[in-house]
Amino acid sequence: MTTQIILYVLAVLLIVIGTIGTILPALPGVPIVYLGMILAAWAGDFNHIGWPTLTILGLLTALAVIVDLLASVFGAKRVGASGWALFGAAAGTVIGLFFGIIGLILGPFVGALIGELIAGSTLKRSTHVGVGAWLGFIFGTLARVALCFTMLGVFVVAYLL
């Protein structure tokens, strides 16, 4: 019984940390949430949450990862970003983590702008690319959050049924 409680507490911690990670790009939030759900299912001997539900949750996790990756690339590529701008957007996102919410918001934009300037574009063009990268980052984050909450809803409904 004590081991089961510890496993449930660990599962809840993973789900909470993963949910936070859906907003922070440094953490693979949705996969961490999924691991927490698998752990909770296992702790309950798969009585409430079975493999069909875990399969659906796994597919939602894969979809979240794919959408997130495609959204970031699509946002920058849509406006014709250079490889330097793509690298800059990724670097800006990581560096932005150290500057709190303002860094998270501005990091992809500033990184893509600087990357595009390094590639030789004009300031106007670089700004356009920065906005595209930023919009892709925002869309990816919103999709990640939406899919994470969908997973939480599926998990709760399956647990209660």
Per-residue confidence (pLDDT) for residue 51, from 0 to 100: 93
Sites in the chain below the pLDDT cut of 50: none
Per-residue confidence (pLDDT) for residue 78, from 0 to 100: 82
Residues 31/141, Cβ–Cβ less than 8 Å: no
* Separation CA 82–CA 73 (nearest Å): 11
Whether pTM > 0.85 for this model: the answer is no
Query: In total, how many domains does the chain have?
Result: 1
Per-residue confidence (pLDDT) for residue 72, from 0 to 100: 67
Per-residue confidence (pLDDT) for residue 134, from 0 to 100: 84
For the chain, give the DSSP string.
-HHHHHHHHHHHHHHHHHHHHTTSTTS-HHHHHHHHHHHHHHHTTTSSS-HHHHHHHHHHHHHHHHHHHHHHHHHHHHTT--HHHHHHHHHHHHHHGGGHHHHHHHHHHHHHHHHHHHTT--HHHHHHHHHHHHHHHHHHHHHHHHHHHHHHHHHHHHHH-
User: Which position has the token pair 């809803």?
Assistant: 153
Q: Which residues contact 47 (CB under 8 A, 6 or more apart)?
A: none
User: Which position has the token pair 């449930």?
Assistant: 8
Per-residue confidence (pLDDT) for residue 73, from 0 to 100: 65
Per-residue confidence (pLDDT) for residue 25, from 0 to 100: 65
Per-residue confidence (pLDDT) for residue 86, from 0 to 100: 85
Residues 154/57, Cβ–Cβ less than 8 Å: yes
- State which residues form the domain around 132: 2-160
Structural Rg of the chain based on CA atoms: 19
- Beta carbons within 10 angstroms of residue 100's beta carbon: 9
